[in-house]
Chains A and B, each alone.
Chain A
């Protein structure tokens, strides 16, 4: 067993701490493989936070370290202001989590499985079983054996298990797995409603579209390291974008722009003229491009800024920074 050298974080900040999750230099190794590599993560309270990364990036390992399912090798962390592992029981009392695929005792009903989990929590949790099942839309199947549940139903049951403790922080690892489109919509709405109640939801997922629709902020993890984190709006604003130009003569328009500072980004394709612009480029540039084309005799019908989606941005940063060294 490896000896943990996790630093202590000063306690007594639980109530006022603005971070639901805070880690500094958190590291977890499996022999030579560094699954979590000095992670610095700050998850603000009261938001939906996406935790994104390619397969094998260390997403689930970090969640397991946070929840005490495995030990960290070094670094410090706190959950809801409680330093862990020193006060893990206090922190976990206010946390609900799904890690990996939610699995339960197949010979018991969903209700009975939740009773087992509620028994391990505070006495009030036992009174929340029915409400939790109702909230995730599983009340009508509560007395069926879990062995008969579909994957999506088990996901819902996992979320219901999270709600037993009336948590301030929910950590959901791939909660959309196995859900049909309607189920994904339900799950998204439920996450948003949980956030609206003031809870914090950390959502680990590779479904970038869902994360973009659901989360306020994200962290991108690759090779065990958090390489970007921040609000989605800010992060995408900092990425490159394109100017799509609908005009009468794209070839001629492209020729006019090649000789300018935007020349390297000019691309004339079957769908028209595109000009790649640097991150942070202001709107006045759009007007300048328009003026140049009009003065060059090109009839411009439309100019549109096309910003990168979270997916394209994710692929950009993870393939660039995650490439073999």
Chain B
């Protein structure tokens, strides 16, 4: 190699540049500064198409569904029940907000985790000398600052409609029943409405009463009878009352879980539960997309996991694979589902109450949730640090 005498070549005298000690900005620190978080938030928030899609899914769908119910009830109250109420709330929370919140959060996480790389900004950012770990961690508060309010708005709309448009009477098994009765009061009320109770309430036991149901007095058909063949004669009011009280006694546990509107306690618990799951969805999406370096495939993977695999694998334990089933993110999350809600994936929650599917202890559920967050965050951060830019 030929090397000329560069060192001896005349060079211009250096001008006084800003050569101050820039280590004071802690550029090598893994802790992101506020400006990094703020600009990352801006970058995500200004993705108009993505934001519109996320708002439509997480706020638009529940809002449109409830608006249609409100209008239908307003114009034809006899044909369409109230838009809100306890049952609508539980269905919306467990069936819509929980799953859509996760999908929306995972999509935003995948976006935050991949766009710097796919859009060529990652290289610019690395050249600043800023710690790559700090660049990764800045995405977490920025993304959560979007996803948490987004989920909260959708959930608040559901809560508002379900509370303010709740029915004024409780329809329990097709019978208008006063809400909030004590066990004794419920039995007393049943005794006073023996015919309705006998004809409509579920009962698992020996029927001793016999009343005509729905087809007028004396009609044979539609009579609720005790099992055993011949239709007995109409029973006395006292027998009917005793039968109704027995039925009410048996159904009270189920009745006591029905309300006109969701309680504040249930709404708070449900809101926190949904936000927890959305946060986990965001972190998992962020880590997975950072690891893979792209957005589309991680989003598809997480949607398939959430709406296909988890429901399928939650329904019944598979021999030798139960522990693998227990590691499902959604299943572990349903373990912390508030008591009044139906099971999201049709399986068990709260340690098996109300379902027959895969069960797990609280400790296992906590470990599964923490594991998903820690493992994917670690993998994403590691890839961010080690990746060629």
Contact = CB atoms under 8 A, between A and B. Distances in A.
A307 interface: no
Interface stretch (A132-140, A230-238, A290-298): A230-238
Contacts of B42: 108, 112, 115-116
B6 A44 contact: yes
Interface string A240-283: 00000000000000000000000000000000000000000000
Given A94-B22, A226-B1, A117 B124 contact: yes
A104 B7 contact: no
Nearest to B50: A107
B19 A120 contact: no
B15 interface: yes
A95 B43 contact: no
A122 B129 CA distance: 10
A92 B17 CA distance: 15
A97 B14 CA distance: 20
B2 A119 contact: no
10 contacts: A44-B6, A45-B14, A46-B11, A69-B389, A90-B23, A90-B27, A106-B119, A120-B128, A199-B17, A238-B2
A238 B2 CA distance: 10
Interface of A: 1, 18, 40, 42, 44-47, 64, 67-71, 88-97, 99-108, 112-113, 115-124, 126, 161, 165-166, 168, 195-199, 216-217, 225-231, 234-235, 238
Interface string B1-19: 1111111010111111111
B33 interface: yes
Contacts of A104: 119-121, 124
B43 A116 contact: yes
Contacts of B15: 196-198
Contacts of A96: 127
Contacts, number: 171
B17 A166 contact: yes
Contacts of B22: 90, 93-94, 122
Contact of B19 (A94, A97, A113, A216): A94
Contacts of A197: 15, 17
Nearest to B49: A107
A104 B124 CA distance: 9
A64 B130 contact: no
A105 B119 CA distance: 6
A74 B235 CA distance: 98
Contacts of A120: 36, 125, 128, 130, 135
A121 B14 contact: no
Interface residues of B, number: 51
B36 A123 contact: no
A101 B115 CA distance: 17
A198 B14 contact: yes
B1 A165 contact: no
Contacts of B39: 112, 115-116, 119
Nearest to B128: A120
A96 B17 CA distance: 14
A1 B388 CA distance: 10
A198 B12 contact: yes
A234 B130 contact: no
Interface string B150-182: 000000000000000000000000000000000
Contacts of B120: 101-104
A93 B19 CA distance: 10
A195 B17 CA distance: 12
A46 B14 contact: yes
Contact of B121 (A44, A113, A121, A238): A113
Given A44-B11, A117-B128, A120-B130, A227 B1 contact: yes
B108 to A, nearest CB: 15
A64 B388 CA distance: 9
Given A197-B17, A231-B6, A93 B23 contact: yes
Interface hub of B3, B7, B25, B127 (most chain A Cβ within 10 A): B127
B73 interface: no
Closest 8 CB pairs of A and B: A103-B120, A230-B4, A92-B129, A198-B15, A119-B35, A93-B22, A69-B389, A89-B28
A29 to B, nearest CB: 13
Nearest to B18: A166
B7 A161 contact: no
A121 B130 contact: yes
